[in-house]
Chain A
Amino acid sequence: MNLLLEIGNGVLSITAMLTGIGLVFAALLIARLISPRSFSVKKSEPYECGIPTRGESMIQFKAGYYIFAILFLIFDVETVFLYPWSVVMRGLGPQGILCIAIFMFVLILGLAYAWRKGALKWE
């Protein structure tokens, strides 16, 4: 049941988004009005772990995270394919189940390949 009988979900979603943006904006505005401000060189340094930062901080980091991100991309696209199927699954009959079983077999094969290749190992 929709709260607004005539208004579409798009308008409502945009309203919710604007609410979020407005919340952050308003809170920041209030904080800027009532919070103290002072400037010093030491204060503007990153806290990090308590001692002065050494060198650049926006640096290259472990490649392992990228591998998981790529794996996620593959499997996420495949789960997106599963969504429409899951809604109409009842109407498709045995053929639909067979097709999705093959699809999922290929999916698991991909996971097994990544596993075998050592992509899931963290070192």
Chain B
Amino acid sequence: MFNFGQWTAAFNNWLMGLGTPEWLGITIECVLIAVLILLTYTVLALFYILYERKLCAWFQCRLGPMRVGPWGLLQVFADMFKILIKELISLKDTDRFLFKLAPYIIITSSVVMLACLPWGNGLQIINWNIGIFFVLAVSSVGVLGILLAGWASNNKYTLIGAMRSGAQMVSYELSLGLSIITIVVMAGTMNINELVLEQANGWFIFKGHIPAIIACIIYIIAATAETNRGPFDLPEAEHELTAGYHTEYSGIHFGFFYLAEYLNLFIVSGIASLMFLGGWMPFHIPGWEGFNAVMNWIPSIVWFVGKAFFISFVIIWFKWTFPRVRIDQMLSFEWKYLMPFSLANLLLMTLCVAFGWHF
């Protein structure tokens, strides 16, 4: 497979070869990385807005956005521009500092998570040896932003929305973490790059058979709840709570929550594809040499992004298939079913690894 690391190494050598001092080189590279992250972030957000709107439309037998640009492709740009030119209304009695701090926390946590994802062979920015744990830790910081937004808005509905969201996100984080631990037990590493390389001879969902498939299902359910989507969108249940925790935000302030929501959808899908579907590893069937060669020919970045989009499709599909759950159903589903199941699944996986029952 083509290693994108060659490009970055070549660039690094070229920069050093010019005789740039080390601090300048590091600064230039950091700035380039920042620009790259920003570009990826905005392009992904724009794509996801169109992706979701089109999919939602098709699930409801509608056409979706069609007027602006060919096939509605320019709709998202129009939306973004509209949101930028809207007035930022400053409200009285809000906790001004926390009100303005909340979007910073939410966006920053999603940007850092995005930088941890393995985009392709050698295309990864942050690569801690505790990678996946770091991602989970950063994702739980995002909850703080939502709680702050709801509390600081001086609005009873946002407060209820934020509290629901907080309770939901912290609850489902447990099964999310446990299903990831299940895979870490099998892989024996938390480094994201090594996790992907471990799957060179088979994705974890095939290698770990029954426990890995259960973990994958638990992960996707928990991820749906973690991103406040689908049947678990009660923090922003529009019939009860106006718009949930971001009711009082206007203009681009609201846009930040919107952006972070779509980016979080991509990030949870990316982690699912990394943990279960092999990250950027191509699909191989043992023995089919020609087929494997064709699969190897597809660039690694296409594999990763394709898998992530597929998981996002499934999560968007949930939204139009299941009715919204009530809060008591949501909490009892997590604590009485998902949690015990994921603990039992972890034990099952431990036994599988101990007795060598996995591939």
Contact = CB atoms under 8 A, between A and B. Distances in A.
Interface bracket on A: 35 or more
A30 to B, nearest CB: 6
Contacts of A31: 84-86, 88, 251-252
Interface in B313-332: 327-328, 331-332
A68 B166 CA distance: 10
B181 A4 contact: no
A90 B163 contact: no
Contacts of B128: 9
A19 B91 contact: no
Contacts of A79: 174, 177-178, 181
A11 B26 contact: yes
Interface bracket on B: 35 or more
Interface string A4-27: 111101011101111111111001
Given A2-B124, A35-B86, A65 B166 contact: yes
Contact of B190 (A27, A36, A44, A83): A83
B167 A68 contact: yes
Nearest to B354: A97
B252 A47 contact: no
Question: Residue among A27, A35, A120 with the most chain B CB within 10 A?
Answer: A27
Question: Residue among B5, B109, B354 with the most chain A CB within 10 A?
Answer: B354
Interface string B178-207: 100100110011100100000000000000
Given A20-B111, A23-B111, A12 B153 contact: no
A38 B166 CA distance: 34
A79 B178 CA distance: 7
Interface stretch (B27-35, B62-70, B266-274): B27-35
B30 A7 contact: yes
Interface of A: 1-7, 9, 11-13, 15-24, 27-28, 30-32, 34-38, 43-49, 53, 57-59, 61-62, 64-65, 68-69, 71-72, 75-76, 79, 82-83, 86-87, 89-90, 94, 97, 100-101, 104, 107-108, 111, 114-115, 120-123
